[in-house]
Amino acid sequence: MQIIIFGSPGVGKGTQAKILSAKLNIPHISTGDILREAIKNQTEVGKKAKEIVEHGELVPDSIMGEIVKQTLHDQKCKSGFILDGFPRTIAQAEILEKIFESLKNESLFLIKLDADDNVIIQRLSNRMVCSKCGNIVVKDEVTENYKCPVCGSVNSYYKRRDDDESVIKHRLEVYHQTTAPVFDFYKTKAAVIDVDGTQHINDVTNQILSKLGVSCN
């Protein structure tokens, strides 16, 4: 099963991708993670990406496309994958289209998580992240000597700079201008699953699985 998970910043793409990865037994491919892995493993494209990143520049679509291609052709993706964070632009979607043409032809699903901008702003501006394991909680939960429920670290939660309201609004503007049109690109190329991403995490997961034709148990 080949899946692209799609939606605005903070809508819960990463959370749902991890849950679905475990339930469907297919890898969650986060482009941020595979970029860091390629750099760490010093692959040919990883070396190119490292030089660019170290100069503070954005990795070009051509290099990101090559990293995604190598990952999706890996043995671990033979039964499918959940792609998170790519494509973000029409140009990236066109690159991915060529990658899919070289893969085994399977049904492609696009999971689109919807949320109103005001909900996203409220959600992101009120979250805190564990510096040790990356777990996210609501700001009101974090009290003095708060212990992370995942890794057990104490006083490890902080608010990310990109979760400031002004930054969130800018990220949403970029999303609507450059990323949202990608959805239209896939309307006739994939089976689209549209879900309200503001619901409880379990409800979102169950709706996705139901629309994929997979048992929720």
Concerning whether 127 is annotated as a catalytic residue, the answer is yes
CATH of 2-116+179-212, one of 3.30.420.40, 3.30.70.20, 3.40.50.300, 3.40.50.2300: 3.40.50.300
pTM: predicted TM-score of the whole model, two decimal places? 0.83
Taking alpha carbons only, the member of 113, 82, 109, 108 closest to residue 18 is 82
Catalytic-residue membership of 161: no
* Catalytic choice (36, 88, 132, 159): 88
Spatial neighbors of 148 by CB under 8 A, at least 6 apart, are: 130, 132, 133, 135, 154, 156, 157
On whether the CB atoms of residues 99 and 183 are closer than 8 A, the answer is no
| DSSP symbols for 78-104 | TT-EEEES---SHHHHHHHHHHHHHS-
Catalytic entry in 48, 50, 69, 171: 171
Catalytic: which of 13, 48, 69, 123?
13
Could you list the pLDDT tens digit for every one of the 217 residues in the chain? 899 999 998 899 989 999 999 999 999 999 888 888 888 888 888 898 888 877 767 788 998 899 899 899 999 999 999 999 899 899 999 999 999 988 876 789 999 999 999 999 998 999 999 999 988 899 999 999 999 999 999 999 999 888 889 989 988 998 999 888 998 999 888 999 999 999 999 999 999 999 998 877 6
Within 8 A by CB and 6+ apart from 103, the residues are 2, 72, 73
The tokens of 176 are what?
């609507």
Alpha-carbon dihedral angle through residues 114, 132, 47, 34, given to the nearest 10 degrees: -30
111 in Cβ contact with 16 (< 8 Å) = yes
In the residue annotation, 13 being an active-site residue is answered as yes
What distances in angstroms separate CA 27 from CA 18, 21, 180, 216, one per listed residue?
A: 8, 6, 24, 19
Residue-range domain boundaries for the chain: 2-116+179-212
Which residue of the set 47, 139, 160, 189 is catalytic?
160
